[in-house]
Amino acid sequence: MSETTQALAIPVLVGDLVTLRPHTLADADAVHERAVDPLARRFTTVPLEYTREMAVEYVTEFTAPSAAQVSWAIELEGRYAGTIDLRALPVDAGAGSLGFATHQDFRGRGVMSEAVRLVVAHAFDTLGWRTVRWEAHAGNWGSAKAVWRAGFPVPVFVPDLLVERGRLVDGWISTLHADADRQPVAPWDDVVAALTR
């Protein structure tokens, strides 16, 4: 985490495809749609009985600026397309974890790949972090591809890595350092081969 405990700002980050901005109440319906999608339920810890009221609380309270995390709404063509966040780890060197979820209407369009690149650049170039860690359920190929495009090393499979709804599940983990060149480290087919053997 940065040297202070002040709330991390949520700056607007603009890419060629997407804009990252603070969440607003207007995002609540789309957040709810994303949270009840079958893939979101499979690959995230979102509550199975997710309600619109929970979505309102999420966009108005949980994603507000704090010392522990910075969370962005991803916007494409004027619509909410997903959420991405950095959660600071309590270490002196400056480090955090990366998490994200794409709204189902925007999958397969490069939305999250660009969002990851923007957020990684912010973590290293603005916040001064040295390390960004990514974890996901084993089998979450969409998530793996987004971080692969940003230069994360080939993930490592770890049994029982994640806690999900009271049980341990297998996961993938990869760590990117600030001095990495942020380009894919291997062809995508090699990544798939490494994680499926």
State whether residue 130 is helix, strand or coil. Answer: coil
Confidence of residue 12 (pLDDT cuts 50, 70, 90): very high
Domain boundaries, the chain: 13-196
Closest CA to 148 of 104, 102, 195, 86: 195
Contacts of 46 (CB under 8 A, 6+ apart): 35, 40
Any idea what the Cα angle at residue 46 is, between residues 7 and 90, rounded to 5°?
35
What is the model's pTM? Answer: 0.92
Contacts of 10 (CB under 8 A, 6+ apart): 21, 22, 65, 70, 71, 72
Confidence of residue 3 (pLDDT cuts 50, 70, 90): very low
Confidence of residue 77 (pLDDT cuts 50, 70, 90): very high
> In whole angstroms, what is the distance from residue 20 CA to residue 23 CA?
9
Contacts of 49 (CB under 8 A, 6+ apart): none
Q: Which position has the higher pLDDT, 8 or 77? A: 77
For 130-188, the pLDDT digits (tens) are: 999 999 999 999 999 999 999 999 999 999 999 888 889 999 999 999 999 999 999 99
For 88-142, the pLDDT digits (tens) are: 998 877 999 999 999 999 999 999 999 999 999 999 999 999 999 999 999 999 9
State whether residue 49 is helix, strand or coil. Answer: coil
The CATH class given to the 13-196 domain equals alpha beta
Closest CA to 57 of 84, 39, 35, 41: 35
Q: Residue 5 pLDDT more than 70?
A: no
State whether residue 104 is helix, strand or coil. Answer: helix
